Structure 1
Amino acid sequence: MPTVIGGVTIASRKWGNSVGGLIASLPWIAGPIMLFFTLEQGVDFAVSSVKGIMMGVIGILGFCFAYIYSAMRHKWYVSLSLAYLSFVGVTIILKNFEDYMGLNGWFILADILSLGGLVIFPKVKPEKGESKRLKFDIYLRMIIITVFVALITYLAKILGPTWSGILTPFPIITAILAAFTHYTQGAYGTSLILRGMLTGFIGFAAFLFLQAKLLPNFSIALAFLIGFIVNIILNLLMRAFVKRFL
């Protein structure tokens, strides 16, 4: 995880925030946590957690919208607080509707909302002024993300599959990228990285959906490999779609 967040940061600086956000949307956190769920709690636990993770994906959409609308008016810490409140609020509401839809329904809903979110995501105008650069920011990102992954994995038995699933996509990598980008580049740079992440959410949801279908019947390695390949293909297709039509 430290390597991932460091790599995403470097990619954002080299190829732009949109590409960095798209790379960040890959299952860098959810994948390893699901792997640990499978190895430690069993396949049934991991599969049961997928529906919760889908709810968490929808919660991240709420996080992204709350952050960017706040970022256009407020500092990073205000935006981050409001975004986390949005994530928590959305996931609590969705938890009450957990039994009204099966996995297929949550997958379709996550895809529809992700695509709709891309269409209506606000376009922020570039700001004047030079970008800031923080010392040791990559190392800070590495520490934060490592602590989070370890904590969620440790709490899995206590939380149960649904809440463990909801917290698996908890916007820690999204928050790190958004807050650091907001502080150093302003709302415009933040909008690019969040929009890049939204572009990859359909592929991310597909990865999760495939794990629920493949893990009971195939090896962990094969299930994850197929899911990751499909995720990458969908990300590339979505990026081409966004560049052409949005």
Structure 2
Amino acid sequence: MPVTLLLKLLLAPALVVGSSLAGRRWGAQVTGVLVTLPIVAGPILLITCLEHGTAFGAEAAASSLLGLVTLALFAVVFAWCSRRLRWLGALAVAWAACLAADLLVAQVTLPAWWGLPVALAGIAVASRVMPPEAAVTGARPATAWPWWDLPGRAAATAALVVLVTTLSSALGPAMTGVLAPFPIATSVVAAFVLARHGSAETVRTLRGVLAGLVGFAVFCFTVAVSVDRWGVATAFSLALIVTMAGQFAWLRVSRSARPPRWRFSRAASAARRRG
């Protein structure tokens, strides 16, 4: 079996399952950040470079920056829909918005040096227009994850990777790059969080997604500007190191800056006693 076929079938699904398990351990916002590591787009871009050359891969990586804008749009649409719709309806509306935006931005070609600020601006705007967490209601009691959750995530991821990379010659580098960040892992996580915990937790998760997209953008930019010059191994290693360092630094800062819940509980109890 060719090495690239093994990468298509195994690499991205294994990364999605691993990040899903880690997210279950550390909570909703961490889950949102983990699923926006380049666990699907990274393998797609890697396979694209191996199959079509570094020039094709560099252009696809630059287009992926515009795909991150549509991924941010998906997060915003799903978050707002979660206030009124169940997971299937929210997913249908958000996917429709994302696909329409993908078709639109695929017509635009920007060099990576312009694509990066456009992606960061899109992420910033999306963060500003997310529903306010305090205004979101409808939390539901948690239920056990179904047995088919992780296999379903792995299968959906493998299907996307195989589809995009197999059709990449026909799609061209622009559409390949735009589709690389398509929210497969994000969709599964958001849908299950909405079904299990309700809208408030869904919004928190998708806020984590938007925070994680900054590191994702850095990954795509690094690959775009370096792969044709330094080669696949060096470019992807450098991009992965920079992205992982940035993501986990952000996680460390955000978790240390958030006061533990027990402090709020004790403060609230003291206030009630004084009242």
TM-score by length of 1: 0.91
Judge conservation of contact 1:50–1:208 (CA < 8 Å) in 2: yes
* Alpha-carbon distance change, 186 to 141 in structure 1, aligned in 2, over 3 angstroms: same
Letter in 1 for 2:64: I
Partner of 2:224: 212
1:131 lines up with 2:142 in the alignment:
yes
Judge conservation of contact 1:47–1:212 (CA < 8 Å) in 2: yes
Deviation string 1:184-239 (CA, Å, 9 cap, x unpaired) is 22212222221111111111111111111111221322211111111123224444
Q: 1:51 aligns with which of 62, 73, 76?
A: 62
CA displacement at 1:57 relative to structure 2: 0.6
Partner of 1:105: 114
Letter in 2 for 1:83: A
Partner of 1:60: 71
CA distance in 2, matches of 1:7, 1:102: 33
* Alpha-carbon distance change, 238 to 119 in structure 1, aligned in 2, over 3 angstroms: farther
1:37 lines up with 2:48 in the alignment:
yes
TM-score by length of 2: 0.82
Letter in 1 for 2:111: G
Unmatched runs of 5 consecutive residues or more in structure 1: none
Judge conservation of contact 1:132–1:183 (CA < 8 Å) in 2: no
Deviation string 1:141-173 (CA, Å, 9 cap, x unpaired) is 111111111111111111111111111111111
Instruction: Give the SS at the match of 1:215.
Output: helix
Moved more, 181-190 or 159-168: 181-190
Partner of 1:174: 186
Letter in 1 for 2:162: A
1:197 lines up with 2:199 in the alignment:
no
Judge conservation of contact 1:214–1:223 (CA < 8 Å) in 2: yes
Higher-Rg structure is 2
CA displacement at 1:135 relative to structure 2: 2.9
**How many positions carry a matched residue from both structures?**
243
Q: 1:144 aligns with which of 156, 168, 179?
A: 156
Judge conservation of contact 2:19–2:35 (CA < 8 Å) in 1: yes
CA distance in 2, matches of 1:63, 1:24: 14
CA displacement at 1:128 relative to structure 2: 4.3
Partner of 1:10: 21
Q: 2:197 aligns with which of 165, 176, 185?
A: 185
1:90 lines up with 2:101 in the alignment:
yes
* Alpha-carbon distance change, 128 to 58 in structure 1, aligned in 2, over 3 angstroms: closer
* Alpha-carbon distance change, 20 to 118 in structure 1, aligned in 2, over 3 angstroms: same
CA distance in 2, matches of 1:159, 1:191: 33
Judge conservation of contact 1:199–1:242 (CA < 8 Å) in 2: no
Judge conservation of contact 2:140–2:198 (CA < 8 Å) in 1: no
Judge conservation of contact 2:190–2:205 (CA < 8 Å) in 1: yes
Judge conservation of contact 1:206–1:231 (CA < 8 Å) in 2: yes
Instruction: Give the SS at the match of 2:228.
Output: coil
Partner of 1:74: 85
Unmatched runs of 5 consecutive residues or more in structure 2: 1-11, 259-275
The percentage of aligned residue pairs carrying the same residue is 26
Letter in 1 for 2:180: T
Q: 1:28 aligns with which of 12, 25, 39?
A: 39
Deviation string 1:12-69 (CA, Å, 9 cap, x unpaired) is 2211011111111111111111111111100111011123211111000111111010
Judge conservation of contact 2:83–2:137 (CA < 8 Å) in 1: no
1:122 lines up with 2:131 in the alignment:
yes
Moved more, 3-12 or 171-180: 3-12
